[in-house]
Amino acid sequence: MKKLLRNRLLLLLMLLRFCVYAQAQDSNDQRITLLAGNASLSSVLKNIEHQTNKRFNYSENEVNINEKVNVNYNEAPLNQVLGQLFSAKGISWRMIDDGIYLRKEARKESSPSKDSLNVYLLRGRVTDEEGQPLVGATILVKGTSAGAVADAEGRFTLAGIPHNAVIRVSFTSYEASEMVPGGRRSLDVVLKKKIGSLDETVVIGYGTTTKRFNTGAVSTVKADVIESQPVTDPLLALQGRVPGLYIAQNSGIPGAASVVRLRGQNSISNGNDPFYIVDGVPYSPTSSTSTFIGGGAVGSPTSQGSGLSPFNFLNPSDIERIDVLKDADATAIYGSRGANGVILITTKKGKPGKTRLDVNASYGGGKVANKLSLLNTPQYLKMRKEGFINDGKKPSARDYDVNGTWDSTSYTDWQKSLIGGTATFTNVQAGISGGSGNTQFALRGGYSNQSTVFPGNYNDRKASVLFNVTHRSTNERFHADITASYLNDKSILPQIDFTSLITLAPDAPPIYDSLGNLNWAKTFVNPLGNTKKKAQAISENLIGNVELSYLLLPGLTAKSSFGYNRLQTDQTIQTPITAFPPTTIDNSAKRENYYGGTNSSGWLIEPQLNYIKKIAAGTLTVLLGATFQQNNSNSMGTYANDFTSDAAITNIAAAKNIRIMGVDYATYKYNAIFGRINYEWKEKYVLNLTTRRDGSSRFGPGKQFGNFGAIGAAWIFSDENWIKGNLPFLSFGKIRASYGTTGNDQIGNYQYLSTYSNTYDSYQGLIGLAPTRIPNSDFGWEQVRKIEVGLETGFLKDQILFNIDFYRNRSSNQLVGYSLPTTTGFSSVQYNLPALVQNTGMEADLHVEAIHTRSLNWRIGANISVPRNKLLKYPALEASSDNFSYVIGQSILGRKLLEYTGVDPQTGVYTVRDVNNDNNIDRSDYIKYKTITQQYFGGIQNSFSYKGFQLDIFIQYVKQNAYDYSSNIASGPGVNNKNFPTDIVDKVWRSKGDHAEYQKISSGTNETAQASSYRSESDAIVVDASFIRLKNVMLSYAIPQKILNKISIQDIRFYVQGQNLMTFTSYVGLDPESQGGLTLPPLRMITGGIKLSL
């Protein structure tokens, strides 16, 4: 028995020895190549992990990972490297499977030395894993009441610290850390973030917070969402994803502007755009397209949502996040500029770590997703002939489509010819970033090129560069953040939207003749003659910001930002002689060019003082600051014609006739002081007070300054003991509320002055002046009072998050241009209208972690917004010039219309109600008020990931009314040689007694034309334009890490993404979103690409 036991023990020892030997052999077989000077131990360990596929496990109390080391290894065995790194530090290591476990070797007990009883001053800094300061982090000396709070730069100071003290550092949403400084006078603490969306950073005005402690209504869209969509305008990436934010893409032409509304429309006629800030610099939402010459196919910026979008001059791939601030608590810090909400755009910055190269390249195309069903040639001719029979007339000599001049067997699908092409999209982005714990940098460049679906060579090309460097001094007192971006955009578009021509007669002559040239038949104006014309715009956008801060005293930091923005657009709208039939070749006066130049620039200086201090069981944060801002803008429009040749058309000096269309120059100055006090008590109760006093040059003497402010509060009731005990499934619960005032000064400059402009016509050789504005210095700030209550909840350890907000905004002292009689010589005068506009609504969003396993994840997100708008008060409305536009108690987003009464069964024409039976349709008969807006809207997101696969599906939905597209096209088939939808064929009036949907077919008599005009002004044109759209789908696959390690690449991901893939709607026009009739709708885009990191 003893012998058997002895043999078993011997066998066990041999097995153990073999295992140790095998382990040593394995570790010695792994070789390390590493060269680094003054590098942190943490970075060295990460490099070893990357080379060995092993992971270090240790306690930060035992291993000082911030210690600086010098290493130089070339194919050295792993054991040798570990020995040189840790043996002298008294740290042992052990390898088990894929882990390397580090332990501090035990030391013999000894009586305290004299040094261990000494005390000293400890300074340090608390940051997250990306090197960002954790403002308000708590630093405590365990076992004592001594402690400190990290300031705005994450710095702290502790006095009288024993050498053997244990320091505990904690911050909400981060894992606490304990360490023994051991006599070190400086301590850098890096806290690891806890997993949970409630603890994500939220950018607010002049600072940051977390979702958990935020007292305002803020929504965030991050880079991964923006980059998953093939768009060149970053605002389009927000559609349907932010509660309360509605963005309507009016056109599918690249670079075209959109309409953006955040929680409705507050102002009756002036300034309903949110306030935009890009990297701390105010950014104007006003199109840079010239108001004197327009923008060709994208229209003139004088109409809403037209012209080139200024956000097309921002590179979406450069954006790290977009934060949308909504309520008074979030926006009052911006005073008069926050009435319509605030949108903060933050670009990407460098992060600590080794230098990395990121490349993203994609290519794809887009087409019009839906086309109208129009009459073919036989249907068209049949309806045309029916119209002449109904009118008792015969085709005239000019009715080429039906009198035999045109080939009755010919057919041209104008939708295919004019908007049936494929718009290609090329996008290449590259960036290099990295840095140490003190200095980080990022340099990014991008190029994109998007063509159109139109015939001809049109596109929008842009190239951009972004640079950022962040630096902190070694003593952690000084901080600098420098960001600069530049983008050059060259847009070449047609002068018209070819979509407006898709209703040409289907039997029109062929586009090309037998030789392949444009067909210039005498009876036919070839629409492709417009391909010789072009509207070109070259834009340059420069944004720069320098932010400097210095720690004056513990908890007190002085900070200032210096921003600059310059946007310049130079335009030409060229019409060469080749755009006309050859018979006009000698008419040089037809050669014309419009020149437009717009230049806007602005600077900003914002000094600030930030103070943070722990008081009792809470943390007090105080912000004081000032704003000094100036914007200069100038523009000019020139018309020139009668050039000697097409080649000289770009040279204005070659024109025989030159005329200045307009010149404008303006300076806007804005100054303010602002402050905020925030107190967070027991991490459960939060109070936030903000105030701002603004001064604007847009108001006259005595009216230039306004005061604004807000109060916000939050109660995290889920941390109350009585809640924890009774509602264990509730992981988070917060009630927040806010009330405050913001303002609006979004009107033109110099509105309070009497202004003059040149007449541009001479009298006896002299240029005269003409008055352009009647003065009024008595109008002041438009004011918006906002109130909100919100509930934020989390269930089952935050696997389910549900938030709901209720808000009410009331806008008074409306800034409007009041209409004046023509006898005054002026069309309007600026003044304050004592009207009261109210916007109310409910917003809710839901986030669910449906499945969360090691290999499979499924996340669901959904949001809904239900806005309501109402005109509450308008004194003497009946006697005002707005009597025809608004109704008290109704939305201002509507209009008065005639009451449609159908098609007269006897006469076969459209009829409307004559209210007073005077046989005259006039303004008194406009009794129907119809609202044209959204009843509710939102989006649903589903994200699936399985191993290396990722699938994201986003659905947008909108419930809304809109104008029937048919009200914007011809009153009947053939009128002005225009086609018509096929759905009228079986629905028109044909004989007495018919109850028809459409009036009788006509060749264009006064009777039917007048009836069509009445119908287009009636409630019949307001239809349901609701839709559900498969907005975005992205499928990607990441190459496994094991493969990447072998080729020394950090990440490779292949992807396919689609935009506007499918739309479900009862709206019969081209698109329910763009509406409006014959305009190019948003395109269905599909692209594929690759992302890699080196």
CB 757 within 8 Å of CB 770: yes
Whether 112 shows a pLDDT value over 50: the answer reads: no
Greatest Cα-to-Cα distance within the chain, rounded to the nearest angstrom? 134
Closest CA to 1035 of 1092, 1091, 952: 952
pLDDT in the model for residue 831: 84
Query: Among 49-53, 348-352, 667-671, 916-920, which stretch is predicted with the lowest mean pLDDT?
Result: 49-53
Amino acid identity of residue 673, one-letter, is I
pLDDT in the model for residue 649: 92
Please indicate whether residue 356 or residue 186 has the higher confidence score (pLDDT): 356
For 949-1007, list the strands marked E by DSSP: 949-963
Closest CA to 831 of 817, 812, 821: 817
Structure confidence by residue, pLDDT tens digits, 551-573 = 999 889 999 999 999 999 999 99
Whether 508 shows a pLDDT value over 50: the answer reads: yes
Structure confidence by residue, pLDDT tens digits, 841-852 = 999 999 999 998
Region 708-736: what's the mean pLDDT? 93
Q: Which fold has domain 353-1093?
A: Maltoporin; Chain A (2.40.170)
Amino acid identity of residue 833, one-letter, is L
Given the candidates 3.40.50.300, 3.40.190.10, 3.30.470.10, 3.55.50.30, the CATH classification of the domain at 25-103 is 3.55.50.30
CB 550 within 8 Å of CB 558: yes
Q: Give the pairing of strands 766-773 and 755-763.
A: antiparallel
Q: Please provide the size of the chain in residues.
A: 1094
Residue 882's CB is within 10 A of a number of other CB atoms, namely 20
CB 801 within 8 Å of CB 843: no
pLDDT in the model for residue 410: 92
pLDDT in the model for residue 23: 38
Q: Cα separation of 135 and 614, whole Å? A: 11
Q: Cα separation of 347 and 442, whole Å? A: 10
Structure confidence by residue, pLDDT tens digits, 771-821 = 888 888 888 888 999 999 999 999 998 899 999 999 999 999 988 887 788
Domain ranges in the chain are 25-103, 116-194, 198-347, 353-1093
Whether 28 shows a pLDDT value over 50: the answer reads: no
Helix (H, G, I), strand (E, B) or coil at 989: coil
Structure confidence by residue, pLDDT tens digits, 366-404 = 999 999 999 999 999 998 999 899 989 999 888 898 998
Whether 146 shows a pLDDT value over 80: the answer reads: no
Q: Cα separation of 24 and 372, whole Å? A: 75
Structure confidence by residue, pLDDT tens digits, 820-834 = 888 888 888 888 888
Whether 968 shows a pLDDT value over 60: the answer reads: no
Query: Among 173-177, 471-475, 776-780, 1069-1073, which stretch is predicted with the lowest mean pLDDT?
Result: 173-177
Q: Cα separation of 496 and 505, whole Å? A: 19
Question: Phi then psi for 577, rounded to 5 degrees?
Answer: -70, -20
Helix (H, G, I), strand (E, B) or coil at 432: strand
Whether 581 shows a pLDDT value over 70: the answer reads: yes
CB 263 within 8 Å of CB 809: yes
Please classify residue 394 by burial: count the beta carbons closer than 10 Å to its beta carbon, then call 0-12 exposed, 13-18 middle and 19+ buried.
exposed
Please indicate whether residue 166 or residue 862 has the higher confidence score (pLDDT): 862
CB 476 within 8 Å of CB 125: yes
Region 152-166: what's the mean pLDDT? 80
Q: pTM score, two decimals?
A: 0.82
Region 320-335: what's the mean pLDDT? 94
Structure confidence by residue, pLDDT tens digits, 417-453 = 999 999 999 999 999 999 888 899 999 999 999 999 9
What is the CA 731 to chain-centroid distance, rounded? 32
Helix (H) or strand (E) holding 96: strand 91-96
CATH code, 116-194 = 2.60.40.4130
pLDDT in the model for residue 156: 86
Q: Which of 143-152, 211-220, 670-679, 1075-1084 has the highest mean pLDDT?
A: 670-679
Q: Share the mean pLDDT of the chain.
A: 87
Q: Cα separation of 960 and 934, whole Å? A: 4
Structure confidence by residue, pLDDT tens digits, 51-90 = 777 878 777 777 888 787 777 776 777 876 787 787 667 7
Helix (H) or strand (E) holding 391: helix 377-391
pLDDT in the model for residue 217: 93
Whether 864 shows a pLDDT value over 80: the answer reads: yes
Residue 617 Cα distances to 541, 644, 723, angstroms: 48, 82, 21
The superfamily in CATH containing domain 198-347 is: TonB-dependent receptor, plug domain (2.170.130.10)
Query: Among 51-60, 944-953, 1048-1057, which stretch is predicted with the lowest mean pLDDT?
Result: 51-60
Whether 967 shows a pLDDT value over 80: the answer reads: no
Q: What percent of the chain has pLDDT over 70?
A: 93
CB 868 within 8 Å of CB 244: no
Whether 116 shows a pLDDT value over 50: the answer reads: no
